[in-house]
Amino acid sequence: MTVLFAYKLGGLCLFFMGFTALILRSHPLKKIMAVNVMAAGVFLLFIAMACHGRVGVAIDPVPQAMVLTGIVVSVSVTALALVLACRIQETSGGAGSSEGEHPPQGDS
Amino acid sequence: MNSLSLTLFDCVVLVTLLGLAWQLLATPDLFKAMVLFMSFGLVMALAWVRLAAPDVALAEAALGAGLTGPLFLSALHRLRGTRKGERRQQLDSIEHRGKIEKVTQRTSGRIIYLLLRILFAGLLLTLLVHLATILLHVEYENPGLGVFVAEQQEESGVISPVTAVLLNFRGYDTLLEIMVLFVAVVAVWSLATVRFSEKSGQVSPIQQGVVRILAPLMILVAVSLIWQGTHLAGGAFQGGAVLAAAGVLMMVSELPWLRLIPSLPVRLMLVFGPLVFLGLGVSCLADGRFLEYPGELAGFLILLIELACGLSIGLTLACLFVGGRPVDDLVDRGQLEEGS
């Protein structure tokens, strides 16, 4: 029971760490990584909550299937976000002429 | 004794997980962060094993660690490839830091900045503590859906409960998930193009040789993962991910025959899995409802769907790794047509 709670708490901590990094980090790759860590936290919490009783007992297959779906979707989201980040870099960095004058502040 | 060592193992896994996450989010070195991210995925897989979710563990190890890491690495390579972009990035960060320093040089500014940080941290901590107390005190009376799945297991045609949920009871979810993967490839292809046949020429023959031995083995593992999805942990997604990893390995080793693959079969393979899934689902309409397989054929149909989707998922993930529409074959063909 307590170990299970530790896993739930770990999931929560991962989510909040990812959330903080998402706000504080400015590099787009770091932001995408932070979103991935947040997703991992949510999955961990979800599966830990589906464990009734104690750790290591076979659990409900429905949450497992949902987390499986979630992992695959988060991979495709990551891939799309990375291509978008590269594209943003290309269009904003490759223009060249106005470099150094008024670089857009894309970070928060 | 046994349970004590297992509890210790749980603690080690959790502490490593949190430590890795902290390190990978805190380090300014992007490459280091990526390596840490991959190890984070592997430790995550260990946590899934401990939580008795082997299917999720396999998917996490193959997708979360095996594929997301290379995705990040190739994106970093491309971001650094655009020199101007990098300079802009540096300028951005220098100016940003300059602004913060300008603000923090004044004492009042420094105090406000510090106060904001404390406020933010305090808010997050309060939220965390509240959620944790809710989790600690909440009691479940609902036994979950496992009972219903176990009741209907015989009708599903497969032995593995997770596969039964994925491909039979909640087939809609999986169908839409595969569509999401397909739409991701379409979006990536419409955003960027890559020159696929561009060779760096820096791949050592040893690497190519090792990959020539490894790739068939990985394809074998992938097919066996798809096959055993019906009765054990595994399935189309795990198998597809291993297949994609084999593809990624072959691409980074620049095996020469990869460039000769024409684009039409690739496009057809991409839609093959979703189309088979959709087609079988629609054909179920004849004597039932959408995606409601007839009892005696269910096992066979699920295996068919898994094989088709596994192949397509593998190719889809490999295409996502390429990170754009390969243009060479189209350009070459255009030139050929102009020449003739």
Task: Using alpha carbons, list the distances in angstroms from residue A60 to A71, A90, A100.
Answer: 17, 46, 56
Residue B220 lies in a domain: yes
Q: Give the residue from A30, A46, A68 with the most B CB atoms within 10 Å of its CB, the best one to mutate.
A: A68
Residue B155 lies in a domain: no
Residues written for chain B: 340
The rounded distance, in Å, linking the Cα atoms of B65 and B49 is 15
Instruction: Output the pLDDT for position B329.
Output: 54
The rounded distance, in Å, linking the Cα atoms of B131 and B125 is 10
Name the strand (E) or helix (H) holding B282.
Answer: helix B263-283
Per-residue pLDDT reduced to its tens digit, B131-145: 988 888 876 666 677
| B71 interfacial to chain A (CB closer than 8 Å) | yes
Across the interface, whether the CB atoms of A94 and B87 are under 8 A apart is answered no
Instruction: Output the pLDDT for position B275.
Output: 93
Q: Which of A61, A68, A85 sits opposite B146 (nearest CB)?
A: A61
ipTM above 0.90, yes or no: no
Across the interface, whether the CB atoms of B165 and A64 are under 8 A apart is answered yes
DSSP B193: E
Residue of A nearest to B317 (CA): A76
Residue partners of A60: CB distance under 8 A and separation at least 6: A50, A52, B144, B145, B146, B149
Instruction: Output the pLDDT for position B82.
Output: 60
What's the rounded mean pLDDT across residues B146-170? 82
| Token output for B254 | 């620049």
Distance from CA of B113 to the nearest CA of A (A): 13
The rounded distance, in Å, linking the Cα atoms of B67 and B138 is 36
Residue B39 scores a pLDDT above 90 = yes
Residue B314 lies in a domain: yes
Residue B51 lies in a domain: no
The rounded distance, in Å, linking the Cα atoms of B109 and A11 is 35
Of B3-12, B195-204, B223-232, B263-272, the one with minimum mean pLDDT is B195-204
Q: Give the residue from B2, B3, B16, B17 with the most A CB atoms within 10 Å of its CB, the best one to mutate.
A: B17
CB atoms within 10 A of CB B330: 12
SS3 category, B325: strand
Residue B170 lies in a domain: yes
Average pLDDT over all residues of chain B: 83
Domain A2-92 has CATH 1.10.287.3510: yes
Residue B144 lies in a domain: no
The rounded distance, in Å, linking the Cα atoms of B125 and A16 is 9
Across the interface, whether the CB atoms of B320 and A76 are under 8 A apart is answered yes
Per-residue pLDDT reduced to its tens digit, A52-78: 766 556 678 888 899 999 999 999 999
Helix axes B83-105, B68-81, angle to 10 degrees: 90
Residue of B nearest to A104 (CA): B92
How many CA atoms, within 13 angstroms, populate the side-chain half-sphere of residue B79?
Answer: 23
CB atoms within 10 A of CB A25: 19
Task: Using alpha carbons, list the distances in angstroms from residue B6 to A55, B48, B58.
Answer: 10, 14, 21
Which pLDDT band holds residue B298 (cuts at 50, 70, 90)? confident
Residue A91 scores a pLDDT above 70 = yes
Residue with tokens 């690739």: B266
The rounded distance, in Å, linking the Cα atoms of B59 and A71 is 7
Distance from CA of B204 to the nearest CA of A (A): 28
Closest CA to A58 of B313, B259, B52: B52
Using CA atoms in the order B44, B166, A15, A7, what is the torsion angle rounded to 10 degrees? Answer: -50
**Structural domain boundaries enclosing B290:** 160-340
Across the interface, whether the CB atoms of A68 and B59 are under 8 A apart is answered yes
| Token output for A21 | 């990094």
DSSP string, B153-186: HHHHS-S-HHHHIIIIITHHHHHHHHHHHHHHHH
Residue partners of B160: CB distance under 8 A and separation at least 6: B55, B229, B230, B231, B232, B233, B234, B235
| A88 interfacial to chain B (CB closer than 8 Å) | no
| B293 interfacial to chain A (CB closer than 8 Å) | no
Which pLDDT band holds residue B285 (cuts at 50, 70, 90)? confident
Residue B338 scores a pLDDT above 60 = no
Residue of A nearest to B50 (CA): A56
The tally of domains found in chain B comes to 1
What's the CA angle centered on B210, arms B56 and B262, to 5 degrees? Answer: 80
SS3 category, A70: helix
Across the interface, whether the CB atoms of A72 and B10 are under 8 A apart is answered no
Distance from CA of B89 to the nearest CA of A (A): 8
Q: Which of A12, A77, A96 sits opposite B128 (nearest CB)?
A: A12
Q: Where are the beta strands (DSSP E) in chain B?
A: 193-194, 325-326
What's the CA angle centered on B29, arms B26 and B34, to 5 degrees? Answer: 85
Residue of B nearest to A47 (CA): B51
The rounded distance, in Å, linking the Cα atoms of B69 and B76 is 11
The rounded distance, in Å, linking the Cα atoms of B156 and B58 is 22
Q: How would you label B1-18 residue by residue, b for 16+ Cβ within 10 Å and e otherwise?
A: eeeeeeeeebeebbebbb
Residues of B in contact with A26 (CB under 8 A): 92-93, 96
**Can you give the residue ranges of every domain in chain A?**
2-92
Residue partners of B172: CB distance under 8 A and separation at least 6: B291
